[in-house]
Amino acid sequence: MDIALEQVEYRYQPNTPFERLALHNISLNIPSGRYLAVIGHTGSGKSTLLQHLNALLQPTKGQISIGDRTIQAGTKEKNLKEIRQKVGIVFQFPEHQLFEETVEKDICFGPMNFGVPQEEAIKRAKELVDLVGLPKGVLEKSPFDLSGGQMRRVAIAGVLAMDPDVLVLDEPTAGLDPRGRHEMMEMFYELHRAKQLSTILVTHSMEDAAAYADELVILHHGEMKRKGPPREIFSHPEDLESWGLSVPHIVRFQSLLEKKINHKLGRTCLTTEELAGELQAYMNRGGGN
Amino acid sequence: MMEKMIFGRYIPGDSIIHHMDPRSKLIFVFAYICIVFLANNLVTYGILTMFTVLIMLVSKVSIRFFLNGLKPILWLVVFTFFLQVFFNRQGDLLYHYAFIRIYSEGIRQGIFISLRFLLLIFLTSLLTLTTTPISLTDGIESLLNLLKKVKFPVHELALMMSISLRFIPTLMDETEKIMKAQMARGANFSSGSLKERMKAVIPLLIPLFVSSFKRAEELATAMEARGYQGGEGRTKYRLLIWKAADTLSLCLLALITILLAVFRT
């Protein structure tokens, strides 16, 4: 499902002393199957932006088309349910949204709201428990008896159970241990590939953005400063620094190394493997002697 | 919805009223609530209205914002007005149609009572608009200190008040966040029958309570870890200072009270 934002502006609490311009002049195209990462400093409007993607917030100017629906500023939209089913959002700290007596009921809450019959919802819940890496037998437990990391997984399963076409992730790995982070990011990437999902990831981790995204969007004070493939964006570290951002460790390492050996490698490497490959090629050409 | 409400909100500002001692403001508002009932004719209501408008101007809070924020309770004012108009049977009969009888005294009283309502609302919301919640609780604690003599747990009350006030915005944010998360999962809070709506609140209430319990536990642990042992023997970081403006404001109030007492009929 394609999503397109045209000249979107969003103001919080318009016409009060608390008025705040959160987004400004955002035009963005997200074709189906794209993995997009949104990065920006705290308070740059990332979370506001992603709430527009399933019409939780509606723009104060401009328009957004989500699939075949168009949401125009200033018009009251009815029947947003179909959009919300197609675009699943995993909010920051999603474990706070659990409320049912059992994990199974909680996972079924989403799909059943969208009219999926109970048997089907339970079937999905059973599959998802495996997929998100929860132990067997967790379905009958109360979500409040689980550990923080497990609660997070249940909450994510609850969103995936709606079978969305677009998955929006707001810092899904914040507060997890390194292994949990890695597992979760891999799981999302696997889903993205297997189901041809559009994935939109909001993250502070430049490493994740570099490793998974096809395209990066940089927000700064509610404005879109840059858009493009990670390799291109991360090859201009000065720009990133001016917006309070940094490059992934591996990119920084590469630039330090290039200074040391006084030689530019072929391209900006985004992962350790890429850099290892480049170095190998450089050595084979006889450099470094 | 909640964005429109101005009750209990604080707008940072730099007026004389913003810098006044919370104690004098509290006494002022409390006394004002009492003297509003002294007014009973055109002159006295005129004095009060002018006085209130003056205070609002001094506070530098935008009048337009004020009026916008009062929209949600305007119906109450209108309701009292019409109650008086339709049911007060004093004075001359002005209009008569079927069972509706409107008397001059009804309209007069209606206007006066709605005006009294408005004045009270204006001044009391001005208190919270110009005073930070923290200094408000400091003020209340200091005023209640007299009650310590009768074994009233003043410190505990003040502590609970400041903690609650501190967490109102946090809880509001949290409510909104959970609401949005559940809406993203297809929950519907804004339509359906009464029963459906009440059911829809469960996915909002349970997470809120759970997180409040967690928050309370964490806060208590953090307070103990920082050496909190109750109110005995604590010193104060924020000191209340009574300034000339505070004395002046109370004198002004006394003056108004005398004026009202003289001109009322």
Average pLDDT over residues A256-267: 86
**How much is the pTM?**
0.79
Mean pLDDT of A168-182: 91
Q: Is the pLDDT of residue A127 over 60?
A: yes
pLDDT tens, position by position, B64-115: 777 777 777 888 889 988 888 888 777 777 777 777 778 888 888 889 889 9
pLDDT of residue A161: 94
Q: Which residue of B has its CA nearest to A168?
A: B184
> Model ipTM?
0.87
Pairing type for strands A20-30 and A3-12 reads antiparallel
Q: B177 vs A17: CB contact, 8 Å cut-off?
A: no
The minimum CA-CA distance between B183 and chain A, rounded to whole Å, is 8
d(CA A174, CA B150): 51
Of B186, B203, B211, the CB nearest to A81: B186
φ, ψ of residue A171 to 5 degrees: the values are: 45, 65
Whether the predicted pLDDT of A93 surpasses 80: yes
Q: Which residues of B touch A88 (CB under 8 A)?
A: 184
Strand order in the sheet with A61-66: A20-30, A3-12, A61-66, A69-72
| Minimum-distance CB partner of B3 among A13, A51, A97 | A13
Please report, to the nearest 10 degrees, the dihedral formed by the alpha carbons of residues A235, A236, A241, A246 taken in order.
-10
The pLDDT assigned to B7 comes to 60
Total length of chain A: 289
Asked if the Cβ–Cβ distance from B203 to A109 is below 8 Å, we say yes
Q: What angle do CA A205, A208, A212 make, to 5 degrees?
A: 150
Neighboring chain A residues of B174 at a CB cutoff of 8 Å: 96
Of A91, A98, A110, the CB nearest to B186: A110
More confident residue, A101 or B61: A101
Contacts of B207 in chain A (CB under 8 A): 96-99
Phi, psi for B55 (deg, rounded to 5): -60, -40
How is the beta sheet containing A223-228 ordered, strand by strand?
A: A87-90, A166-170, A198-202, A35-40, A215-220, A223-228
Q: What is the spatial distance between Cα A18 and Cα B68, in angstroms, rounded to a whole number? A: 13
Predicted local distance difference test score (pLDDT) of residue B100: 76
Chain B contacts to A (CB-CB under 8 A): 3, 11, 62, 65, 68-69, 174, 177-178, 180-188, 202-203, 206-207, 210-211
Confidence of residue A287 (pLDDT cuts 50, 70, 90): low
List, as one string, the DSSP characters of B32-53. Answer: HHHHGGG--SHHHHHHHHHHHH
Cβ pairs bridging A and B (under 8 Å): 66
Residue of chain A minimizing CA distance to B212: A96
Strands (E), chain B: 93-97, 100-103
Residue A17 with chain B: CB contacts under 8 Å? 11, 62, 65
Residue B64 has what pLDDT? 77
Give mean pLDDT in consecutive 10-residue pieces for chain B, a chain of 265 residues. 59 82 92 90 91 89 76 85 83 74 84 89 86 87 88 88 85 91 88 85 93 94 93 85 91 93 87
pLDDT score, position B258: 93
Q: Looking at beta carbons, which residues of chain A come within 8 Å of B184?
A: 54, 56, 84, 88-89, 91, 159
Q: Judge whether A164 is closer than 8 Å to chain B, CB to CB.
A: no
pLDDT band at A19; cut points 50, 70, 90: confident
- What the block records as the tokens of A55 is 């019409």
CB contact under 8 A, A97 and B62: no
Spatial contact of A40 and A50, defined as CB atoms under 8 Å apart: no
Q: Which two tokens stand for residue A244?
A: 């309070």
Residue A172 near chain B (CB below 8 Å): no
Q: Which of the four pLDDT bands, split at 50, 70 and 90, describes residue A212? A: very high
Token pair 């007492």: residue? B261
**Residue A67: pLDDT above 90?**
no
Structure confidence at residue B1 (pLDDT): 43
Query: What is the overall mean pLDDT for chain A?
Result: 90
CB contact set of B193 (below 8 Å; sequence gap of 6+): none
Best mutation target among A16, A48, A154, A168 (most B Cβ atoms within 10 Å) is: A16
